[in-house]
Amino acid sequence: MRIAIILLNKGRGSGEVARQHTRFLLQQGHQVYFMHPEIGDGVQGAHNIDIKLHSDIMPVHEYLPSAGEEQKQVASMDFDEMMAYLPDYEKALSNIIDDVDIVIGHHANITAIATYRIASENYKPYVLFLHGTGIEPRHLGKWDDRSWDLIKKAVEDAKGIIVTTEYV
């Protein structure tokens, strides 16, 4: 099977889960397109795709003060700011959508929306791998309502949901 896996960024914990997920799928003989901004070496054996961002500010799940102004928590962005990043992810996914059978989006955020839109437009099934850091901010009063409505639609229309915790 030919699989695209898309992430918001390199990540730490959830990013490592995605890399392990990619390695496992490769070991099973699948072809994997692994994509996020600043991909670097990515995952050996995968088609590693760097998502080019329109901004020097990296959208992240959890803001780390040590990052200074180089990062911004995506859940704290207003609708227009979040939507400005969406074409970056959609373009990267659009470039390979004809080469894949299924798309796996990690997190309930911009990547879920891009996955939903591009997979749906191209009649491809998609699955979302939900991690708590995508949903938790909503419980804490973050995520603009319009942003959350798009994320919720992406989750509801997914062909499958992957979770590794009861929290989600």
| Tens digits of residue pLDDT in 68-92 | 788 888 888 899 999 999 999 999 9
pLDDT at 136: 66
129 contacts 29 by C-beta, under 8 angstroms: no
pTM: 0.92
Tell me the longest C-alpha to C-alpha distance in the chain: 42
